[in-house]
């Protein structure tokens, strides 16, 4: 892995954060620095540190002298951990979760309606 690979890694993590946590206008591309400011608190502490490390390396990659000081193996591990955490919940999983929430809400409403109907019937002496 070379220094030129740092920017695509940071962009990939930023886009995954935007997809999973939001905070980005439609049609805009966020960099990792701004995504960490906006939605960095949604990451677990260990991954937040690794994301900061990746953002700092992205900043340093713009200058060749400082870019040589970056530990590329550590960045690769940080990138792999961040992608493994951010990638599993794709669009299908979010849609299924949304459908399950709607179904649970409808079921709770029906259960409350049945409880109120039974209470009214017992108060009227029908049961």
pLDDT tens digits, 63-105: 878 878 888 899 999 999 999 888 876 667 778 888 999 999 9
The helix (H) or strand (E) run that includes residue 91 is: helix 91-124
Could you tell me the pLDDT band of residue 3, with boundaries at 50, 70 and 90? confident
Say if residue 97 is in the same domain as residue 76: no
CA gap 24, 122 in Å, rounded: 54
Q: What is the pTM of this model?
A: 0.66
Say if residue 8 is in the same domain as residue 29: yes
**How many domains does the chain contain in total?**
2
Full domain range(s) for residue 109: 90-126
Q: What's residue 1's pLDDT?
A: 59
Say if residue 46 is in the same domain as residue 71: yes
Say if residue 47 is in the same domain as residue 103: no
- Under 8 Å between Cβ of 92 and 37: no
Task: Find the farthest-apart pair of alpha carbons in the chain and give their distance in angstroms, rounded.
Answer: 87
The pLDDT tens digits of the residues spanning 25-54 come to 776 777 888 888 888 888 899 999 999 999
Say if residue 106 is in the same domain as residue 60: no
Q: What's residue 105's pLDDT?
A: 97
pLDDT at 24 over 80: no
Say if residue 105 is in the same domain as residue 44: no
């Amino acid at each position: 892995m070379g220094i030129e690979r740092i920017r695509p890694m940071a962009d990939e993590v930023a886009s995954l954060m935007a997809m999973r946590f939001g905070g980005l206008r439609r049609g805009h591309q966020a960099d990792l620095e701004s995504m960490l400011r906006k939605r960095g608190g949604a990451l677990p502490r260990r991954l937040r540190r690794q994301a900061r490390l990746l953002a700092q390396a992205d900043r340093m990659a713009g200058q060749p002298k400082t870019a040589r000081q970056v530990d590329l193996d550590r960045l690769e591990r940080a990138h792999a951990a961040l992608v493994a955490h951010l990638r599993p919940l794709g669009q299908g999983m979010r849609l299924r979760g949304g459908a399950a929430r709607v179904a649970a809400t409808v079921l709770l409403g029906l259960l409350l309606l049945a409880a109120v109907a039974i209470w009214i019937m017992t108060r009227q002496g029908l049961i």
